[in-house]
Amino acid sequence: MSLGGGYNYSYIFKYIIVGDMGVGKSCLMHQFTEKKFIPDCPHTIGVEFATKMIELDDQKIKLQIWDTAGQERFRAVTRSYYRGAAGALLVYDITRKSTFNRLHTWLTDARRLTCHNTVVCLIGNKADLEEQRDVSYEEAKQLADENDLIFLECSAKSGTNVDDVFIETARKIYQNVQEGRLWNIRITLPHLTNVPKRLRPYQIDWITCLCGKRFDYEPLNLCG
């Protein structure tokens, strides 16, 4: 199945990556989309954007990934990018307990600013630094289980489990689509008032939740 307009994919899934500054959000995105590690990756200012095609059950899916700034002064800006997210990736640094302790603020935003069917994945980054571990696997797994989150540890540096983070999240989103809990919303340019002009050409459509909110555009049910 393909959308109109000559697209060569069946779905777009919008992801938002959130977490404290320095946990490796941008490095995760670059490792997944470009297969490279940027050791001195500059801190994100506002948001950054990337895409990658994957395939699930013979369906081509375009992942539209929004990497957000972790600094508090950008929170008001980045919160506007939660809307329409089918997947939210909550990242902490396994060597810095403080980044784990602040996950509740990111999870609160993810729950409040997305729909209840948005898939949330908890990610412990920098798993290559095992000797510096400050957050045990067990306590992170407990947090994930208590909040119904996917949980994986990974390393943006080595690439270990990075693909799994994005693909397992997509697999759960795709399952929700097939079960009728997510719909496709066609987004047109006039609706993109909060998106920088340089990024607007990439904003075509994405999978989002049907959660009782009023939309001023017509949803197309892809779950039949």
Delimit the domains of the chain by residue range: 11-220
User: Where is pLDDT greater, at 54 or 76?
Assistant: 54
pLDDT at residue 201 tops 80: no
pLDDT at residue 117 tops 50: yes
Q: Give the pLDDT confidence score for residue 195 in this predicted structure.
A: 45
CATH fold of 11-220: Rossmann fold (3.40.50)
CA distance 67 to 21: 11
Q: Give the pLDDT confidence score for residue 63 in this predicted structure.
A: 94
Mean pLDDT over 115-129 rounds to 94
pLDDT at residue 139 tops 60: yes
Give per-residue pLDDT as tens, 70-105: 555 445 556 777 888 899 999 999 999 999 999 999
Binning pLDDT at 50, 70 and 90, where does residue 135 land?
A: very high
User: Where is pLDDT greater, at 147 or 224?
Assistant: 147
User: Where is pLDDT greater, at 196 or 190?
Assistant: 196
**pTM score, whole prediction:** 0.78
Q: Give the pLDDT confidence score for residue 11 in this predicted structure.
A: 86
**First-residue to last-residue Cα distance in the chain:** 12
Mean pLDDT over 3-7 rounds to 48
CA distance 120 to 111: 9
Q: Give the pLDDT confidence score for residue 224 in this predicted structure.
A: 28
Give per-residue pLDDT as tens, 26-49: 999 999 999 988 776 655 545 788
Binning pLDDT at 50, 70 and 90, where does residue 203 land?
A: very low
